[in-house]
């Protein structure tokens, strides 16, 4: 992960790590929830701005697509031993994302205002 962030971001992460060591479990949970809330808000702002510019993005909060090499990989994704139905649904979603087609009706090339 470190090569994907700037030095300034790495500094801030280290600072947060040091501050978090002093926090209680309840404080850590609250901070984590605050981060997720901020992430969702940023996503909504990005989508609204993109839509206003005539661009549509599909940003799902689902698990990322992994290359599965063993049944243990499925356990890591789900956090438990998945049922056959869960595995089928997972692969169906991965397939739909991989083969997604553009909806030409949703693409706006020029404003008609």
- Residue 61: which of 85, 84, 28, 37 has the closest Cα? 37
Lowest mean pLDDT among 11-15, 68-72, 93-97, 102-106: 102-106
> How far apart are alpha carbons 52 and 113 in whole angstroms?
12
What is the domain partition of the chain in residue ranges? 1-56, 62-102
Residues 86 and 35: their CA atoms lie apart, in Å, by 28
pLDDT tens digits for range 33-60:
999 899 889 988 988 888 888 877 766 6
């Amino acid at each position: 992960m470190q090569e994907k962030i700037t030095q300034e971001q790495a500094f801030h992460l280290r600072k947060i790590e040091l501050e978090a060591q002093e926090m209680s479990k309840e404080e850590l949970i609250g901070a984590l929830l605050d981060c997720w809330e901020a992430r969702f808000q940023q996503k909504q702002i990005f989508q609204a701005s993109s839509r206003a510019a005539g661009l549509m993005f599909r940003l799902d909060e689902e698990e990322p697509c992994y290359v599965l090499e063993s049944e243990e990989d499925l356990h890591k994704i789900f956090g438990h031993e998945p049922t056959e139905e869960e595995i089928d649904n997972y692969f169906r979603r991965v397939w739909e994302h991989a083969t997604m087609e553009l909806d030409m009706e949703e693409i706006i090339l020029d404003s008609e205002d």
